[in-house]
Amino acid sequence: MTQEQFVALGIEKSLARKAAEESDRELKNYVSKEIFDTTEQQRKQLETTVNDYKSQLETLKAAAGDNDTLKQQIADLQTQNQEKDVDYQKQLKELRIINAIKLAINDSAQDSDLVAGLIDKTKLILGEDGKVTGLDEQIKSLKESKAFLFKQESKPSGKKGFFPLGPKETGGSGSDERMTMKEAIAARLNMNQEGKGE
């Protein structure tokens, strides 16, 4: 947790700073959920592959009597293993792209699953460094064309002070002059004094 989050919970500022530092120290060796999910997927795939190899070896041991049959089985197994490796690499690439999309839109999207579904994954390129090319452009385009899918950034209006109805709003000349709070109070006091004078 950050210092601001601790302060929001009602913890004194100096203690909140110490708690935030301790929290950072504690979380230093942790990985994000996306990285954990990717690693866990890899582990499960490798476990499945190892089990497949074990069963293939048992089959080879049983067929060791006939040399031609054994050579054919070895060739078949090599082909199957190459196909499995290609499938595994494809799944891993897709998982990395999905995680990159979710990380990129997680904070700004109203519904990250819905927005992720609108990203055209066929136009994304996963580099060897793990960076996804083409993602930022698609997100920018979605923010422009479907802004309602993203959280609006609250921007201050830039106006400060009190703005009473001006001449335009009250049916006057339409000039866009605005009064400050001080001017509005002074004008109100003048109107009251003129009313008393009559």
**In this model, does residue 12 exceed pLDDT 50?**
yes
First to last CA, the chain: 66
Out of 18-22, 25-29, 192-196, give the one with best mean pLDDT: 18-22
Give the Cα separation of 32 and 55 in Å (integer): 35
Q: In the prediction, which pLDDT does 68 show? A: 77
Give the Cα separation of 138 and 65 in Å (integer): 59
Average confidence (pLDDT) over 24-47? 77
pLDDT level of residue 178 (50, 70, 90 thresholds)? low
Q: Give the DSSP letter of residue 150.
A: B
**For residue 123, what are the contacts with CB-CB under 8 A and spacing of at least 6?**
134, 138
pLDDT level of residue 175 (50, 70, 90 thresholds)? very low
Give the Cα separation of 198 and 195 in Å (integer): 5
The separation between CA 131 and the C-alpha centre of its own chain, rounded to angstroms, equals: 15
pLDDT level of residue 33 (50, 70, 90 thresholds)? confident
Q: Name residue, tokens 């909140």.
A: 16
Q: In the prediction, which pLDDT does 38 show? A: 80
Average confidence (pLDDT) over 110-138? 86
Q: In the prediction, which pLDDT does 160 show? A: 54
CB count in 10 Å sphere of residue 109: 21
pLDDT level of residue 195 (50, 70, 90 thresholds)? low
Give the Cα separation of 147 and 141 in Å (integer): 9
pLDDT tens string 57-97: 777 777 666 677 777 887 888 888 888 888 888 888 888 88
